[in-house]
């Protein structure tokens, strides 16, 4: 029996909160033999590497064993965006290949693996919420076909209204928030 598919979102105030949480996901996944794919900005990739090495995770070994890989979020987005929207067939070719590689390399008993992505956050912060939600939908579609755990991260500063937070939360199986909400948005619910 395979593990349930998971699609979480982390709404964070500070990048350090994101990195600490993400390093826990990565470390625990690698230690049980699950492969991990990180699709993030250069700054977050560097911070994550520093954090993982700092807690003794042998990233060079995991990378050599093809259990740990990192991709640039902007470059990966560019591989499937057409006229400011994600193209479903290009997404399946681009991301599908990444997922197939991760699945082939995983050694966990459940056969699952973990993916972290912040491509959706880049779209949202650029003001293209339609594309971000469309991309979340494409991820959810592929989650019904392939057993893996998907983790997203959005900076809280990207949200202007409670309705935006709600829209993002609705397309995820669980929500984690850390840090305080931006004081300019006092109406955002504390329960999210």
Q: What tens digit of pLDDT does each residue of 107-126 get? A: 988 888 999 999 999 999 99
* 188, part of any domain: no
The whole-model pTM stands at 0.90
Burial class, 191, CB count within 10 angstroms (exposed 0-12 / middle 13-18 / buried 19+): exposed
Residues of the domain holding 125: 14-178
Residue 58 token pair: 């042998």
Q: What is the model's pLDDT at position 4?
A: 56
Report the candidate in 60, 55, 61 with the shortest Cα–Cα distance to residue 25: 55
* 171, part of any domain: yes
Report the candidate in 106, 112, 94 with the shortest Cα–Cα distance to residue 39: 94
Residue 139 token pair: 């991820």
* 31, part of any domain: yes
* 7, part of any domain: no
Q: How many domains does the chain have?
A: 1
* 163, part of any domain: yes
CATH of the domain at 88: 3.40.50
Residues 114, 148: contact at Cβ < 8 Å?
yes
Residues 116, 149: contact at Cβ < 8 Å?
no
Residues of the chain with pLDDT under 70: 1-4, 180-192
* 34, part of any domain: yes
* 54, part of any domain: yes
Residues 92, 142: contact at Cβ < 8 Å?
yes
Distance CA 158, CA 47 (A): 20
* 139, part of any domain: yes
């Amino acid at each position: 029996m395979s593990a349930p598919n998971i699609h979480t979102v982390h709404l964070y105030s500070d990048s350090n909160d994101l990195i600490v949480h993400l390093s826990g996901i990565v470390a625990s996944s690698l230690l049980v033999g699950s492969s991990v794919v990180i699709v993030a900005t250069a700054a977050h990739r560097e911070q994550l590497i520093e954090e993982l090495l700092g807690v003794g995770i042998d990233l060079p070994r995991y990378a050599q064993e093809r259990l740990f890989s990192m991709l640039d979020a902007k470059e990966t987005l560019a591989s499937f965006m057409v006229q400011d929207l994600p193209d479903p067939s290009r997404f399946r070719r681009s991301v599908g290949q990444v997922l197939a590689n991760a699945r082939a390399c995983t050694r966990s008993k459940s056969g699952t693996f973990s993916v972290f992505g912040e491509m959706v956050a880049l779209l949202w912060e650029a003001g293209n919420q339609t594309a971000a939600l469309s991309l979340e939908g494409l991820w959810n579609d592929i989650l019904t076909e392939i057993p893996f755990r998907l983790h997203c991260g959005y900076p809280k500063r990207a949200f202007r209204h409670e309705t935006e937070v709600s829209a993002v939360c609705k397309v995820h199986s669980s929500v984690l928030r850390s840090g305080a909400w931006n004081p300019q948005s006092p109406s955002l619910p504390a329960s999210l």
